[in-house]
Amino acid sequence: MVYLSDIEIFNLRNKGEFKIEPFEPKLVRSICVELRLGNRFTTIMSSSTNYIDPIAGLAEEYITTQKLSTVEVLDSGSYIISPGEYVIGITKEKITMPKTHYGSLFGRASMGRLGLQVFCSGGFVDPAFSGYLTLEIFNASKVPIMLRAGMPIAKLTVEELKVVPTVLRPSLTDYERAAEVTLAKADEVEDETA
């Protein structure tokens, strides 16, 4: 694992191969790019399903019967996440990876120390991906935490591949087209179990 340095990240961006929109140079750190929280949040309010069993095929039923609440706050607004609450958010930045590189997403340690856990399941940003990153956010603390649109929320490292993959995304997926929170689809839950 060899992360690109800040100089290499700037060079890749200047060549137009790696895009971050909107781009602010101060967000590029020694070996990563800080990503900020977007302004859309989705939470699962309730479901008629008592449990989730993705292997048995109940994922489709669960995904289609959940009652969701999506909140869009102002660009300078905030969302209060309660203790034990799980929300899905997105990054403010749209990322475009070159086909010769991939990214790894990490939550910020300073947020983790407050009890705010930030995930991107799988943690990888595939070569040739273009879109907003979906963030899974959980408040593990005992007090509410204010999530502010635009606050630094995660770090993206970039790594070069030795060889361009033979299988790249042939076209934009629903995840990549979306500029909003995207939930899992049942067929993708099944694909990950293979």
**Choice among 17, 60, 136, 180 that is catalytic:** 136
pLDDT on residue 69: 84
Cα(114)–Cα(43) distance, integer angstroms: 20
Q: Which two tokens stand for residue 147?
A: 């999530």
Cα(122)–Cα(104) distance, integer angstroms: 9
| Residuewise pLDDT in 10s, the chain (194 residues) | 799 999 999 999 999 999 999 999 999 999 999 999 999 999 877 666 666 666 665 455 555 556 678 899 998 899 999 999 999 999 999 999 999 999 999 999 999 999 999 987 778 899 999 999 999 999 999 999 999 999 999 999 999 999 988 887 655 555 555 555 665 554 554 444 33
Q: Decide: 133 and 178 in contact? Cβ < 8 Å.
A: no
How far is CA 104 from its chain centroid? Answer: 10
Distances (CA, A) of 52 to 58, 131, 181: 6, 28, 21
Cα(156)–Cα(105) distance, integer angstroms: 5
Q: Is 176 a catalytic residue?
A: no
Q: Decide: 119 and 166 in contact? Cβ < 8 Å.
A: no
Whose tokens are 């009890």? That residue is: 115
pLDDT on residue 93: 97
Cα(21)–Cα(96) distance, integer angstroms: 9
Four-CA torsion 139, 141, 143, 145, nearest 10 degrees: -40
The model's pTM: 0.82
The domains of the chain are located at 6-180
pLDDT on residue 3: 96
CATH top-level class of 6-180:
mainly beta
Beta bridge partners of 130: 96
Strand, coil or helix: 156: strand
Q: Decide: 103 and 125 in contact? Cβ < 8 Å.
A: yes
Who contacts 188 (Cβ-Cβ below 8 Å, separation ≥6)?
A: none
